[in-house]
Amino acid sequence: MGLCHGKPIEKSRNTPENAVIPTESEPVPHSQPSKSSNFPFYSPSPLPSLFKNSPANSSVSSTPLRIFRRPFPPPSPAKHIRALLARRHGSVKPNEASIPEGSECEIALDKNFGFSKQFIAHYELGEEVGRGHFGYTCSAKAKKGSSKGQDVAVKVIPKSKMTTAIAIEDVRREVKILRALTGHKNLVQFYDAYEDEDNVYVVMELCKGGELLDRILSRGGKYSEDDAKVVMVQILSVVAYCHLQGVVHRDLKPENFLFTSKDDNSPLKAIDFGLSDYVKPDERLNDIVGSAYYVAPEVLHRSYGTEGDMWSIGVIAYILLCGSRPFWARTESGIFRAVLKADPSFDEAPWPSMSSDAIDFVKRLLNKDYRKRLTASQALRSDYKGGNCQKYWPPHFWYMKNRTMLGSHLHAFPLSSIAQSPEYCLGHPWLASHHDVKIPLDMVVYKLVKAYVCSSSLRKSALGALAKSLTVAQLAYLREQFTLLGPNKSGFISMQNFKLQGVIKNSTDAMKDSRTLDYANMVSSIQYRKLDFEEFCAAAISVHQLEGMESWEQHARLAYELFEKDGNRPIMIEELASELGLGPSVPVHVVLQDWIRHSDGKLSFLGFVRLLHDNERIAAVAFDAGEIMGSKTSRVEMIGAVEI
């Protein structure tokens, strides 16, 4: 549960001596393994018996159609994860290898949370309705007050299981997060927290409709596309809300979503924030938590943010649509191998009969490069309903007609044509039939705008050209984010809008605890001119996400044509190095020789594409060039030589 307050583990090139790397040639036991007391690795695949091609029925101990050969870098993280979790919850055996975390003092732990001690006076505890890894949940009935007679759910967490300071802090943080976030229609309502000498009692809304996993099984193992959309919209809505507040759930799975009633149209509620944590937009977490089938690759690499939740949502979407998991194996190591190296299969039934939008939606969430995944806000959709939002569009904004490139012919359409376009929608087209979704502010916009205003004028010009290659749907998402920032009557926003209109209106205690508010204050304090919608598009565009789309090369080629007309000019290598902020330790003539055309001294297409990326990518290219030249400069030093 929660954040490991240990020192970050440095990456090593040496394989640990005790790392075991299973291969397909090694025998696989056929007996059903027992559940781990600390980590839910061994829950059965949803209804494997109904699907003869399900990975659950396969004798292969990895994702189907994927063969792994020895040696397999990086080594299996399974043993390290088990040891980390055992250490975290105070169950390390004397002969178990320890994780190099900061030492934990387990003597005289303070287990007083400051909660009310009147639980017995207020509630009558009923039967157990569920059991987790760190406690159990019972139904209960209120005894007094305005809620007298009301049925509630009570999560009981024994203090005897809180054997480390981290475990205690996890419980404290779970209650704080639930208290701060309660109120969203798709998040279980928190009522109060109590304690006595033996337990902590977390009183919440009682959801009587069962788990999403049970509902999947009752429908024959999978949902129809239309029904799956209803579920995904609710999941994305609550996750987008959490991410805006700086909260990452870290254990999203069908078991952690409950229906309020048995009704088919019952609302869905997210539960179990025991593993959740705070994270700033520019922060990376390093502790490995979650459920094996749903854990993102970057979590296993111990460097992740809110994008890890989006991977988990992609796994849920895959299960909803086809009834089996995208990554499956008989062992923990096999699961993690598949997550790190295998690709989910979209060749077997029922995928060939599904819409291309449904497949694209899942693929864009299960991209192993977290920077290319959709955010929760981007995945949601909202119809354009008219109003005064038209004035934020530039008079003749470039875009690709019918979402395809027409050679090198560019089409400019007047404002009225854009507003009347059937593509004038937000988010992913698979969710285009849902109209009652409120699109929240997307914190990724803050990161992108911050990087933009700190970029060189040449990169700003390149991003401006790229923004003019966007489709109407892509522009509409940015228009919605621009509107949420509260532009003035002239259609401009200042950097102060990122604080006043952006986060203060949506602020909760969770946003303060996660220091997301501090990040917004930092962005709003940057001295920069006011942004109109056209420049905002250039600032808030995600190059990495565009790279993850099949149309990326078309976007880049069109953008380069526009850049050639408006922004390209002859430039010396030394001037380009200065524009990029490359320091004297960088061999600029080696790094940048392909960036400039020899014929006229202007930026080449390769240089243009590299310029679009952030300085970390430029620094990586510089480091590779330094290795070729025999430079002893480290990658960290090379990145430090690039001014942010």
Burial of 360 (0-12, 13-18, 19+ CB in 10 A): middle
Residue 269 assigned ligand-binding role: no
Cβ neighbours for 261, distance < 8 A, ≥ 6 positions apart? 208, 209
User: Beta-carbon neighbour count of residue 82 at 10 Å?
Assistant: 17
Cis bond upstream, residue 71 (ω within 30)? yes
Both tokens of 495, joined, read: 């950097």
How far apart, in whole angstroms, are the C-alpha atoms of residue 394 and residue 410? 16
What sign for the dihedral angle of Cα 375, 378, 381, 386?
positive
Angle between helices 615-628 and 605-612 (to 10 degrees): 120
Residue entry with tokens 């400039």: 596
Q: Using H for helix, E for strand and C for coil, what is the string for 325-346?
A: CCCCCCCHHHHHHHHHHCCCCC
* CB burial of residue 575 (10 Å; 0-12, 13-18, 19+): exposed
Classify 257 as helix, strand or coil: strand
Which of 381, 388, 345, 350 shows the shortest CA–CA distance to 363?
A: 345
Q: Is 357 annotated in the active site?
A: no
Phi, psi of 316 (to 5 degrees): -60, -45
Contact call for residues 474 and 207 (beta carbons, < 8 A): no
Task: Name residue, tokens 């480390």.
Answer: 164
Torsion angle in degrees (nearest 10) through CA of 612, 614, 615, 617: -90
Pick the catalytic residue: 110, 196, 214, 251? 251
Nearest CA among 548, 562, 394 for reference residue 464: 562
Angle between the N-to-C axes of helices 533-540 and 472-484, in degrees from 0 to 180, rounded to the nearest 10: 100
Residue of 481, 51, 425 whose CA lies nearest to 240: 481
Alpha-helix residue ranges (DSSP H) falling in 304-436: 307-322, 332-341, 356-365, 376-379, 415-420
Q: Are 167 and 119 in contact (CB under 8 A)?
A: no
Give which of 453, 493, 465 is closest to 608, Cα–Cα: 465
Known binding-site residues for ATP equal 155
Q: Which residues are annotated as a binding site?
A: 155
Which sequence positions are flagged as catalytic? Answer: 251
